[in-house]
Structure 1
């Protein structure tokens, strides 16, 4: 997705139907088979932001978080020896997939209609939502209507950025490479509020004393892993591995570790069936 072409998240029913269709109708190089390439190479190249705790971030210069554990478990189930994590950002994920700079993005991308026209998505692997975060001493912003005319910090290339542009009247939108930078500017008074995923924002607020949440979730987002269109064998293998992780409790264990005890498998099970 490009900043000049925002898209809204699909409705949940439509979203799941689109993901189930996967790569139907796509054309691809007959020689391109990501699954076999990664197995032969022995490495799964995974794009992450490196700055979105608790999903993925650097600790002692090593990537850690929910996405990291999921990616490593996925590679093992795909019979791929190791994972190479590649730092990128939301504005560059789609172009990176299309240019074959990495094999898959595992970094909390919301599945939208526009993105589905450019890349393929796995079945959902996490459910998230948008929260409003403000500085600790700001009591003026209590709900989304309070954001009108304010300076709003968002991560470029995300659905949060789309939401701010489309739903908040007269707002001045400031964009950043990641939510850590956006929240930092709120704490420093350079922005009035930030729109950030609920878990990520809560983690950063607690760990770094940057900002506090205000008001309920603005939207619920269903996120998937993205990769090149036309890779039917890869999509089938990824979806099967994710399904097994949900069924055998592995995804629940990972999410409880990183998301304050939340069971992501339960969150996913609440989504409508295909």
Structure 2
């Protein structure tokens, strides 16, 4: 009963927030940093329109905050620095919540739970099960990502960094690296929807993803947390999640 009352109180607070939007870089606008090259989370479709799971989540959150979403596209390698430089208010781009990042950034409550996966070329006889199997191999990862950090922690891996996932997959498909390391949701989506010569292999340590923002705007963090609660409660989140993945990715 107490838990139910707490949830109702938080959701009621969201209504008040809608009437008084939180402080952002531009009044009435929520500037959202993302890659735009990371399907199925954020990418451009055949008509050049920005789409994806994170795009839909960002729009839903902005709507609850009574703010107009404005997307700012940037390479992953510079996306965190762009937030600190006030190029956007938030990052909605599958940013893993880590202790190191929490030293300089604030995060919303987790809105996605997923697991990194080793990726290899479809024709390859190499079938790694764990990160230990990657020792001595050339493995591609996005520069500054939590995936790169996990590979470093494993030790003995020849890590090749790239601006983003698209470049990793291109070099993997061309045989210039032995494996890649990225989100299993991305791997499953690409295998099902695109004709990329890749396949999934072993898994790494599970991650929780949050909306990243600067530490100096606690009111925006509170508003985003409440907005996430509301889109989960009213079914919006589940609808978006099923659209892109066929399951609810908000649970561990």
- On whether the aligned pair clears a TM of 0.5, the verdict is yes
> Is residue 42 of structure 2 the alignment partner of residue 56 of structure 1?
yes
Match of 1:163 in 2: 150
TM-score (normalised: structure 2): 0.86
Match of 2:235 in 1: 249
Q: How does 1:3-152 map to 2 (within 5 A)?
A: 35-37=22-24, 41-59=27-45, 60-80=47-67, 82-144=68-130, 145-152=132-139
CA contact (8 A) 2:117 2:183 kept: yes
Match of 2:3 in 1: none
Residue deviations 1:162-213, cap 9 Å, x none? 11112042x2111111112101111111000000100112222331323100
Residue deviations 1:232-254, cap 9 Å, x none? 21111100000111122211110
Match of 1:233 in 2: 219
CA contact (8 A) 1:183 1:210 kept: no
CA contact (8 A) 1:140 1:146 kept: no
What secondary structure is seen at the aligned counterpart in 2 of 1:149? Answer: coil
What secondary structure is seen at the aligned counterpart in 2 of 1:164? Answer: helix
How big is the shift at 1:142?
3.0
Match of 2:12 in 1: none
Residue deviations 1:50-104, cap 9 Å, x none? 1111111111222101100011111110011x21111123332222111111010
Q: 1:201 and 1:176 mapped to 2: Cα distance?
A: 17
Match of 2:7 in 1: none
What secondary structure is seen at the aligned counterpart in 2 of 1:85? Answer: strand
Unaligned runs of 5+ in 1: 1-33
Superposed structure 1 runs of 4+ greater than 6 Å apart: none
Task: Tell me the matched-pair count.
Answer: 229
Greater Cα offset, 134-143 or 102-111: 134-143
What secondary structure is seen at the aligned counterpart in 1 of 2:127? Answer: coil
Unaligned runs of 5+ in 2: 1-20
Match of 1:153 in 2: 140
CA contact (8 A) 1:147 1:168 kept: no
TM-score (normalised: structure 1): 0.79
| RMSD after superposition | 1.6
